[in-house]
Amino acid sequence: MHHPYQIRSLEQYHTDYKRSIEDSEGFWSNIAEQFVWKKKWDKVLQWNFNEPRVRWFEGAQLNITENCIDRHLADKGDQPAIIWEPNDPSDRTRVVTYNILHKRVCQFAQVLINNGVKKGDRVCIYMGMVPELAYAVLGCARIGAIHSVIFGGFSAQSIADRLADAKAEFIITCDGAYRGAKDIPLKSVIDDALVGNTTVKRVIVYTRTRTPVSMIKGRDVWWEEEMEHAALQLEQAGSVHVPAVAMEAEDPLFILYTSGSTGKPKGVVHSSAGYMLWTNYTFINVFQYQPGQVHFCTADIGWITGHSYILYGPLSAGATSVMFEGIPTWPDAGRFWDIVDKYKVNILYTAPTAIRSLMGFGMQPLEGKELSSLQVLGTVGEPINEEAWHWYDEHIGKKRCPIVDTWWQTETGGVLISNLAGITPAKAAWATLPLPGVQPMLVDENGKQVTERDEQGLIKGNLCIKTPWPSILRTTYGDHERCRQNYFATYENLYFTGDGALQDEQGNFRITGRVDDVLNVSGHRIGTAEVENAINAHAGVVESAVVGYPHDIKGQGIYAYVIVSHFHQDAEQTRKDILQTVTRVIGPIAKPDKIQFVSGLPKTRSGKIMRRILRKIAEGETSNLGDTTTLLDPGVVEEILKGV
């Protein structure tokens, strides 16, 4: 029994793709018919990339949680929706059926209502990977509150900035979180982030690690007590059901902050209807999901991958989604394979960074692991290199599982370019073909479409997309102009991805990496300006420049060139102090891998740092630095080269 809009052959892919472009409204309205609506749409699509303004299913009303939960209760109530694997393998697994999920999400929706949360309010969620995180996200969606999940590795300063930007009045957190051998004190980080904050009214705290926490009277409440109270209320009312609020198709569902080429993270806003449709459509097609399969996406819900392919995509399809609290290398590097065997996982979706890291442990962690349940493998977050692709194919998929190499972004909401598992051809290290409705094109610096092929028959350019797909970002929260500038102003009438790409003669795409000042470190986007601002916050630092360089595991590492006024003690101590500052300002994920102290930076006469030269030095390509005579002080380059 496959889904009515599942692509089942290469021929159908081409037919559907053609139709999605020629009659996009007819195509998407057919698919939209398969969902539960409170009111149907008046118009499928209206758009204009110059403003930018995109509206899908205008006039329709729905609630995404009815599509993710309620509609499955009749036939899948006792089927697992979420299987939770705790950090410590000896702890108890939790299996959350669709019936239980419905009960808990309604209960938590009632908790939110009791605490004064209303439709449109922003709720910040800073939790570990526990099922309660799913209840919190879906509870917000059920009452129309806008959730903004912040990854557990961000610092108090990063959280404070995001709270201020979203004007969030509510926070949901845990006392602490487990990640491998580490305990992360989430509540105390929130307390630090709230110093001086006057907008947050309520903090709801779930107990996970039993670490001592400070609970402020009138502001902080315990999750467990609130849930108990809500359960009694619902019992007295004679129903566990809390009605799902009717949302307009274009009402915001969530905000997710992402790095850009300028310092401040942007709050990417996703809509209700278009996002729902796209995560569902891509989940079913890219992974070729069949009812009854167990899907394991290893991402954190703090990132878009977790939103779309742990929660909204699989749940809207009535699938079983595995949620893992820990990390791939703890207690040993066989953890993923243990989980695959334990739950008979059919679809495994992870990041190239994780694959490269696990490759480094050799074959030993794979001994005694069956992996026979696997049917589809996927990668996400960054382009996968061929070596890692072949290792994944041979040792994990045993050469019988198609690998989908998915390209997409926080801003796109779901997968845009990928092969469809076993249906369209895979090509190692290539994302291959666009999904129906997605029209990519490669342009040069001036926005002119590139058509010339090089001697390998490849077209090379900056990746843009011509028309909107349902889950394109709608705005950046509170600052629509920033959305326009960042994504729509670079090239007229195009969405600019910020990535470079190649296209072969068969139309396949290979993503080559960012073309702006954004690094892709372990599949996480980190803006160079953001890291520079953090380094410059350190007392002894005069100026810094940050670039990426090739890193065996992370894909890209962070290389910082730093000018200090004086060493407070010695260079090594100053280096440690700077790393500590970056951790305080952004979080440990942004720590530079290498810091080189320099007395000056290569600058043009107008004062612009020539990052191109610094990038080449960091990459070790010192023989080909290009013209340095136009620099303000060409001698600086010689000196940097000596210190490498």
Q: Please choose, from the candidates 549, 568, 570, 571, the residue with its C-alpha nearest in 3D space to the C-alpha of residue 560.
A: 549
Per DSSP, 486 falls in state I
CATH (residue range 66-245):
3.40.50.980
User: CA-to-CA distance for 478 and 275, rounded, in angstroms?
Assistant: 20
User: Rounded distance, CA 78 to CA 468, Å?
Assistant: 38
Nearest to 166, CA basis, from 207, 133, 199: 199
Cα dist from 493 to 232, 441, 464, 484, 567, whole Å:
54, 12, 10, 11, 50
Quote the pLDDT of residue 182.
Answer: 93
CATH class belonging to 518-643? alpha beta
Residue type for position 430? W
Q: Are strands 53-58 and 509-514 parallel, antiparallel or unpaired?
A: unpaired
What pLDDT, on the 0 to 100 scale, is given for residue 629?
A: 73
Distances, alpha carbon 61 to alpha carbons 246, 278, 468, 639, in Å:
6, 17, 21, 63
Amino acid at 101: L
Fold matches, 10-65+271-441+481-514 and 66-245: yes
Query: Burial, 67: exposed, middle or buried (Cβ in 10 Å; 0-12, 13-18, 19+)?
Result: buried
Q: Is residue 594 helix, strand or coil?
A: strand
Listed in sequence order, the residues at least 6 apart from 449 whose beta carbon sits closer than 8 Å to its beta carbon are 441, 442, 443, 461
Task: Estimate to the nearest angstrom the gap between the alpha carbon of 11 and the chain centroid.
Answer: 32
Give the tokens for residue 512.
């080559």
How many CB atoms neighbour CB 9 within 10 A?
11
Residue spans of the domains in the chain: they are 10-65+271-441+481-514, 66-245, 518-643
Nearest to 54 by CA among 249, 260, 247: 249
pLDDT less than 70: residues of the chain: 1-2
Find, among 270, 328, 268, 329, the residue nearest to 297 by Cα. 328
Q: Is 85 helix (H, G, I), strand (E, B) or coil?
A: strand
Which tens digit of pLDDT belongs to each residue from 498-549? 999 999 999 999 999 888 888 999 988 898 988 998 999 998 899 999 999 9
Is residue 415 within 8 Å of residue 408, measured between CB atoms?
A: yes
385 DSSP assignment: P
Q: Are strands 80-85 and 94-97 parallel, antiparallel or unpaired?
A: antiparallel
| CB of 126 closer than 8 Å to CB of 186 | yes
User: What pLDDT, on a 0 to 100 scale, did the predictor assign at position 634?
Assistant: 83
Q: Calculate the CA 523 to chain-centre distance.
A: 9
pLDDT value of position 492: 94
SS3 assignment, position 454: coil
Instruction: Write out pLDDT tens, residues 578-591.
Output: 999 999 999 999 99
Question: Residue 633: which residues within 8 A CB-CB, separation 6 or more?
Answer: 600, 602, 603
The answer to whether the beta carbons of residues 579 and 592 sit under 8 Å apart is yes
Q: Is 336 helix (H, G, I), strand (E, B) or coil?
A: helix
Which of 313, 531, 318, 273 shows the shortest CA–CA distance to 406?
Answer: 313
In order, the DSSP letters of 184-235 are: E-HHHHHHHHTTT--S--EEEEE-SS-------TTTEEEHHHHHHHHHHHHH
Query: What does residue 482 show for φ and ψ, rounded to 5 degrees?
Result: -65, -35
Rg (CA), the chain: 24
Query: How far apart are alpha carbons 66 and 79 in whole angstroms?
Result: 16
pLDDT at site 1: 59
Residue 202 φ then ψ, to 5°? -145, 135
Tokens of 79: 């089927």
pLDDT digits (tens, 9 = 90+) for 444-467: 999 999 999 999 999 999 999 999
Residue with tokens 């904050």: 197
CATH superfamily label, 10-65+271-441+481-514: ANL, N-terminal domain (3.40.50.12780)
Give the whole-angstrom CA distance, residue 445 versus residue 70.
49
Asked if 491 and 466 touch (Cβ cutoff 8 Å), the reply is no
d(CA 28, CA 636): 57
pTM for the structure as a whole: 0.93
